[in-house]
Structures are given as structure tokens and as C-alpha cells.
């Protein structure tokens, strides 16, 4: 397996946790999430992956999307927020991530 494939799998596994954690802090549109994630390029979510993820999270009841149209009549956008079910999932996922990260750090250590 190439490092690119391995990195891609790593990002896919972390995408949901990253999105839920970001929505915990503030309501955001898909573009808003992408703008925030652009500052963290190692996470690597693109518009081709963020919208299917948001749609799935909305179907599962973890996020809620509301269409907002600007008062000036401009283009509307869907704003996402975390639901109580999403907060519970985030709490569980964060605990799992923390344990995983700690154990993997112990194994990897200062590997070159």
C-alpha cells in the first residue's frame, strides 16, 4: 500500500469526528466547514467528500441543516448544527479517539 492510500484511509476515518467537533464550536455551512478545514490540510476533506458526509450525518440525525437565504436576496446556503444525538456521538467518538491516539503514540513513540 502506498503512503497516499494509507493517508487517504486515515483521513476518511477521521472525517466524521472532525466535522462533528467543528460543529460543536459553531454552526457552519458546507463552504464554512471547507474554509475552516483549509487551514488544516492534513485532514484533507474536499467538497466532493464533505457534502456526502453532511448528507449522511443529517439522515442519521447527528446534524441538522437549515436553508438560510440572505436578506439581500443572494444565494441561500444550508447551515449545519449539531443535534443532541450528534453531541452524544461526538462524546463517544472523542473518547475512542483519545484512547486510540494514546495507545498508538505509546507504540510508535519516537519512531524515525
The residue segments making up the domain with residue 18 are 3-106
Average pLDDT over residues 4-33: 89
- Residue 41: is its pLDDT beyond 90? no
* pTM given for the model: 0.85
Domain membership of residue 111 (yes or no) is: no
Angle at CA 84, nearest 5°, toward 83 and 85? 85
What pLDDT shows up at residue 11?
77
State the pLDDT at residue 112. 65
Could you tell me the CATH number of the domain that includes residue 95?
1.10.10.10
| Burial (CB count within 10 angstroms: exposed 0-12, middle 13-18, buried 19+), residue 36 | middle
Domain count across the chain: 1
Residue closest to 78 by CA, chosen among 96, 64, 59, 94 = 64
In this structure, is residue 52 part of a structural domain? yes
pLDDT number for residue 73: 75
Cell of 19: 466535522
Q: Classify residue 112: in a domain, yes or no.
A: no
Tell me, what's the pLDDT at 38? 85
Helices marked H in 1-112 — which ranges?
Answer: 3-25, 30-38, 47-59, 84-108
Amino acid at each position: 500500500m502506498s503512503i497516499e492510500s494509507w493517508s487517504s484511509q486515515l483521513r476518511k476515518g477521521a472525517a466524521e469526528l472532525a466535522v462533528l467537533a467543528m460543529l460543536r464550536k459553531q454552526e457552519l455551512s458546507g463552504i464554512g466547514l471547507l474554509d475552516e478545514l483549509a487551514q488544516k490540510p492534513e485532514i484533507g476533506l474536499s467538497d466532493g467528500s464533505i457534502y456526502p458526509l453532511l448528507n449522511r450525518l443529517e439522515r442519521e440525525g447527528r446534524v441538522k441543516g437549515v436553508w438560510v437565504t440572505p436578506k439581500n436576496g443572494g444565494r441561500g446556503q444550508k447551515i449545519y448544527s449539531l443535534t443532541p444525538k450528534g453531541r452524544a456521538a461526538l462524546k463517544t467518538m472523542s473518547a475512542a479517539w483519545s484512547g486510540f491516539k494514546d495507545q498508538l503514540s505509546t507504540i510508535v513513540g519516537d519512531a524515525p
